[in-house]
Every structure is written in C-alpha cells, then in structure tokens.
Amino acid sequence: MPDYLPQDAGESSLWGATAIANPVDQVLQDSLQADVLVVGGGYTGLSSALHLAEQGISVVLLEAKSIGFGGSGRNAGLVNAGVWQNPEHVRQQLGPEAGDRFNLALRDAPALVTDLVDRFDMDCDLQRVGTVNVAHNAAAMKPLAERCRQLQDLGAAVELIDGEAARAIAASPVYRHGGIHDPGAATIHPLNYARSLAQVALGLGARLFQDSGIDSLTRQNDRWLATTAHGEVSAEQVIVATNAYADGNSRQVRESTVPVFIFHCATPPLADEIVTDIIPQRHGLWDTQLMLTSTRIDQAGRLIMSSAGRLQGLQRAIRENWMARTRDWLFPQTRGTTWEYQWSGQIGITQSKILRVQLLAPGVFAPAGYNGRGIGPGSVVGKHLAHTIISGNRDDFPFPIEALYQEKWRRVRAGYYRYGSLALQLAGRR
C-alpha cells in the first residue's frame, strides 16, 4: 500500500509530500510473542513502544494503515501544553488531587517532545518558537487573562501579552489586542515526528508492522491474542492507541469519542519579506474566534492555516474559499496567494474536553479523546503508560484510569460540528 493515503479524494497533504522515509515497511506474517502489544502507529502508540523498548520490554506494534496515517500525520504541527480547557475545569471534572496530577503531567508536554527530538536527533523540523493563544477582539482578553493566571498558578512559564506585543508577533489588523504567549511551546513537522518516533523505537528493539490491522483480540491462557490477516501476536498487556481512527474492531474506543474533522490549507513558500512581515519569529498561533483558526509558518516559508471541517465533496470548495477569505482578513499581505496543499484529519473529542484512559479489560488500556491536542499529550500519555506497565504501579499514573465510557448522541453531535461549521464558513467573511 502507499506510504501515505489522503483522507478524501482530491486532497494533497503537505506533510505527506515532504515526509522523510517511512522506516516501517513490514506486514505481520508470523506468530509472535511479546510482553506488550501496541495497537496504533500514532504518537501515543509510538511513544509507548519507544519507552517500553528503551527499558528492555518486548513490544510489538501493529498499525492498520501506515505510520502516522491518522491524526498524527494530519494535524497543524503545534506542540502545545495541557488541554483546551483551563486547569480549574480539569480539577472540577476530576477532583482537586487527580486534576492537579493531570494538569502537571501535561504542563511540560512540549519539553518531553523537544527532549526526545534532541536525545535521538530526530529529523522533524522542530522550531522552538513558542505559540500564542491570540485574542481576535478586546472582549476575548478577559477569559485569556483568567486562563493565563491559572496556568501560571500551575507553574507554567506563560505570560499575558498586550496588544503591542501581539502586533510584534503577528502583523495582523485583527490580532491587535493581546494573548497568552507560551515560549516553551513549538511547531513541528507532525508526520516526520511520528516517523522519527518509529525509527527510534525500531532501533531500540521494538517490532513495528503496518498494514496489519487486528481482526480479533481474545483472552487465551492469561494472555491476549491478537490476530491479523496474516499473523498473530500473543502479549501479556495491550495498549489500544487508535483514538479517533478506531475501526469496527475497536468499537469501544470509537464510541468513547465524538468524531470531528479539522482541515488545513498551505500556500507555496512565501517571499522572505512577506514571512518576516506577517509572523517574523514564526510563532504558532491559534485564536479565540468561535470558528477557531490556527496559523503558522513552516521552515520553507509556507503559510499553514487550519480550522474545523472536512474536505469532502462539495464541502471542499466552501471551506477552502472561506479559509482564503479568512487569510486575507487576518493577513492582507498574503492576498491573492493560492493554496498549494489541502488536507484534513479526524480528531476525537469528549463531552468534558479532557482525554481519558479506559480499561477495556484486565491489562488492556485505551487512551483516547485528545480533543485536537495530541502531539505533546500523546507523547506524555505513551511514556506514562509504558512506565506504569513496567512498574505495575498504577498509583503513579497521572491520568485517571476509567471504566468503559460511551459518548452520548455521537452521530448527532458529529453532524452538528460538521454542518454547523459548514454553514458558518459558507456565509463568513463575505
């Protein structure tokens, strides 16, 4: 099968077009034994495999498509800390003690990513430029100030910036009110990061296979047996890290989140003077609009913009045109620029907007629901899952391990996000 497949017909992925070679080229065709089986070749699964193998644990990873095929190869490449919700929201949902453990574990998520990149010399275009949650109007500054206060109380090295500082970061007539600057955050080539994790895991002794989706997972003689079209794996414990791309064989995981699509558009490389004018230090940006837009510049000088929606059928032209109008509104300096790449990906969201780690059965862990923030948190969850499996001590695991959970009204809510965003984009910026 091809190394990288588009989500929908007509898509063209910047990350797929500029990716390093996929280090995984084998299909499972044997009967293998392992201490741990990892299902899914995204950030969580790959981080788990890497950290397990680093400690000498026998691990096999099975990916149904190709490494980074899901959300890990389809996002905007912003390496942010925490979750979308404020730390206090997490504490209210989980309780003060569990909420603090959760928040602290994800506070330093970008630091884990940058440490892995440095330690293993990964080729993934990491730019340690920081990110900014930027206000699109004056009223948005009040909730941003409260969020910043809560993050600072958590010990995060973030700062509330004023309009002058915001204009120095992004020369936009809209982004002139301020925001939250996180200097420890970063941007990255997301597919290359996934493939780099795979390369390191292989070098540490993990056995990775793609085009090897599981057909069944059953309990046999105190072990778990996963079967594929051409092989099988027996393992003591299992990590099901399929998240929003869980298929019918991982129905419990699939039903624990609501599927939502995010699409991305990228220009050809812009002239140096335009890049220097609009986002001179190449910070990653995401704003406070109801129809959130994120913006960044990659190492080649391409402007990359992202928002909610899927590029499917007639929706594609509506969303691309809206994004062009939004680009011209935010950065008039780029008016008339074309889109060279357009692609979309699926994320899994939860009612609480907080990721969960479910125990599907004894010894079967299933993290899911990153709510569109998977690079840092996925890497962190994978590392902690590996350490918990190795130690056998769940008390030190910073995320609540929950029983099975099913999101209510999944299809209705998914339709609301899909067609609600389409309606707003059809009429917006005209």
Q: What is the 3-state secondary structure (H, E, C) of 218-273?
A: EEECCEEEEECCCCEEEEEEEEECCHHHCCHHHHHHHCCCEEEEEEEEECCCCCHH
pLDDT tier at 2, thresholds 50, 70, 90: very low
Residues 141 and 174: their CA atoms lie apart, in Å, by: 13
pLDDT tier at 3, thresholds 50, 70, 90: low
Lowest mean pLDDT among 81-95, 167-181, 239-253, 315-329: 239-253
The secondary structure of residue 374, as a DSSP letter, is -
Tell me the mean pLDDT in the region 92-110.
96
Tell me the mean pLDDT in the region 101-114.
97
Residue-level pLDDT at 229: 97
Task: For strands 356-361 and 223-227, give the pairing.
Answer: unpaired
Q: Which amino acid is at 368?
A: A
Percent of the chain residues topping a pLDDT of 90: 91
3-state percent helix, strand, coil for the chain, nearest multiple of 5? 35, 25, 40
Q: Which amino acid is at 340?
A: E
Residue-level pLDDT at 186: 98
Between 405 and 328, the more confident residue is 328
Query: With 60 as the cut, is the pLDDT of residue 5 above it?
Result: no
Cα angle 75, 330, 130 (rounded to 5 degrees) comes to 50
Residue-level pLDDT at 405: 84
Cα angle 69, 71, 74 (rounded to 5 degrees) comes to 80
Contact indicator for 197, 23 with CB cutoff of 8 Å = no
| pLDDT tens, residue by residue, 23-59 | 999 999 999 999 999 999 999 999 999 999 999 999 9
Residue-level pLDDT at 6: 62
Tell me the mean pLDDT in the region 391-409.
90
| pLDDT tens, residue by residue, 160-199 | 999 999 999 999 999 999 999 999 999 999 999 999 999 9
All structural domains of the chain, each given as residue ranges with its CATH number in brackets, are 14-427 (3.50.50.60)
pTM here is 0.97
Dihedral-angle region of residue 369 (phi above 0 means left; psi in -120 to 50 means alpha; beta otherwise): left
Residue-level pLDDT at 117: 98
Query: With 90 as the cut, is the pLDDT of residue 4 above it?
Result: no
| pLDDT tens, residue by residue, 410-420 | 999 999 999 99
